[in-house]
Structure 1
Amino acid sequence: MKLCVDVGCGSGQNTAHLADYFQQVIGLDISPHQVAVAQTKNTVANVVYKEGSADSLPFEDASVDLITCCTALHWFNIEAFFAEARRVLRPGGVLACYAYWYPKTFYNDKDLTYIIDELWDSWKEVWFQTHHHLQSEYTEVPDLYQEQVTIRRAEGKFQVEKEETVDTYMDFYLSCAVCQKARDKYGHQHTDQVLNSAKQRILDAMGNKNEQQKLRVQYRYFLRMWRKPTC
């Protein structure tokens, strides 16, 4: 296949995985900073990164084989983005939107996800309005085309498992947009105390004070995917 476009590509973590299947992969993001980071990290010859908006895709009509959105659709103007996807997808082309809510977390066989559940619940007042799309696993998003595939998190068909240190794992929550909003609402000191408390609870549950100790982190994705009719 010729062209894949990864919309809302951020720093390119998802984009590079697509390179083996297409002649060209283009990562598109509205943030100049994220695009610059992706360009700096890029080592794949057929992958390029550009600035661009989901509601004004810089591609010709019927020119794209696959559009992907990894943990990005809920940030878009979905109606405008879907109109653009209809325009640029070739007949038989596919839009695939996938994301995860937050990862399940284990130390050996001990499930520590409840600690993050409680952290996330403590920030409910500062969730973005669009987070309901993550909670509903994009099932409230209107259908783009009749031919479609839906995978729910609970099915366990689409998941990635990693080992991460406690430090790295907590950095994920420190860098997320909801944490930044919590800092704006509650102050940096209070928010950092909440994060440090969650980290300490994880270490206590592990029975290990070493922040470089590895956790098993399981990202359970959900997916909605549509194929454009061929005629």
Structure 2
Amino acid sequence: MSYQYFEIPDHAIVYNKFRPSTPKEIAEKIVDYLKQEVTDLALAVDVGCGSGQSTEVLAPYFQTVIGIDPSETQIVEAQKNNTIPNIVYRVGSAEKILSPSGSVQLVTAGQSCHWFDMKKFYAEVERLLVPGGVLAIYGYFLPRPHFPGKSEDLCSVVDKFYSDVLGKYVLPESKKVYIDNYKGGDFMHFPFTKQPVMRDESVTTETDATVADLVGYISSWSAFQNYVKLEGKTQGTMVLQKFEKEVMNILNATSAPAETRITIKYKYFLIMGRK
């Protein structure tokens, strides 16, 4: 599992601050699907939980939710901010999850399984799940910033920054989520499912944000972290400042980036299969 880009302490803080939380609609779709065959919701395991955005949304539905991530800095951040008593965070691997066989009703992976060894992960999921239990993996497309009359230009700036500025620094794993949207490879072919795998792209969220929030989110990308690793922090700051300036120019904004309001939309894709 490739996770070295999430080991920088400051990156975990940035990730927690700017990454979107999993929308309630995603959790509801997952739980509704699970309840078609399993109603005793004792335990869910959220793999690649990061700083907890994908874990918290499951807490109302299960007796216990375990969030697992290989990055100690991410788990420290998750534990520091956790106020929900039935959530437990721990450092761990997607390919070797320390829970008893047949003890889990739901395994989720939000914006994370592109980092996994999927063959080993699927074997662990099959071991963990009760009969009728569900694996749900999901992610979201590149962010879509919106402002009246300016949305197309804003989205174009984001796309160009990702493809042109960061293009050669984008890790192969990241392309599976932002470019392929989990449509290829192993993502649509769970080997243990007794029913056809379901794909749903009906959930889109809107977040009231600022230009500074958009820049902060982009700084959390593994591609940007890779850029900084190879080119240095000074150069990384410069390209972010240039991106921010382009966005502000499109908006004709005279306020500070932290005070310039926009809307950011995230379109989600959800894939579910049942043991």
How high is the TM-score relative to the length of structure 1?
Answer: 0.92
* Root mean square deviation of aligned Cα: 1.4
Structure 1 match to 2:34: none
Q: Which has the higher strand share?
A: 1
1:105 aligned residue (122, 125, 145): 145
Question: 5+ unaligned residues in a row in structure 2: which ranges?
Answer: 1-40
Structure 1 match to 2:240: 195
Structure 1 match to 2:200: 151
What is the rounded CA distance, in whole Å, between the counterparts of 2:185 and 2:88 in structure 1?
29
- Quick one: which amino acid aligns to residue 199 of structure 2? T
Could you say what secondary structure the match of 1:130 adopts? helix
Structure 1 match to 2:252: 207
Question: Sequence identity of aligned pairs in percent?
Answer: 32
Could you say what secondary structure the match of 1:49 adopts? strand
2:181 aligned residue (137, 144, 159): 137
What is the rounded CA distance, in whole Å, between the counterparts of 1:183 and 1:36 in structure 2?
23
What is the rounded CA distance, in whole Å, between the counterparts of 1:187 and 1:35 in structure 2?
26
- Quick one: which amino acid aligns to residue 139 of structure 1? K
What is the rounded CA distance, in whole Å, between the counterparts of 1:41 and 1:188 in structure 2?
27
Structure 2 match to 1:90: 130
Shift, 1:225, TM fit: 1.0
- Quick one: which amino acid aligns to residue 136 of structure 1? D
Say how many residue pairs are matched. Answer: 224
- Quick one: which amino acid aligns to residue 93 of structure 1? G
4+ aligned runs moved over 6 Å, structure 1: none
Equivalent residues of 1:160, 1:220 under 8 A apart: yes
Structure 2 match to 1:21: 61
Shift, 1:49, TM fit: 0.6
Residues 1-231 of structure 1 correspond to what in structure 2 (within 5 A)? Answer: 1-111=41-151, 112-122=154-164, 123-134=166-177, 135-142=179-186, 143-144=189-190, 145-147=193-195, 148-152=197-201, 157-210=202-255, 211=257, 212-228=259-275
Equivalent residues of 1:2, 1:65 under 8 A apart: yes
Question: 5+ unaligned residues in a row in structure 1: which ranges?
Answer: none
Shift, 1:159, TM fit: 1.8
What is the rounded CA distance, in whole Å, between the counterparts of 2:87 and 2:234 in structure 1?
41
Shift, 1:17, TM fit: 0.9
Shift, 1:62, TM fit: 1.1
Equivalent residues of 1:63, 1:90 under 8 A apart: yes
Shift, 1:9, TM fit: 0.5
How high is the TM-score relative to the length of structure 2?
Answer: 0.78
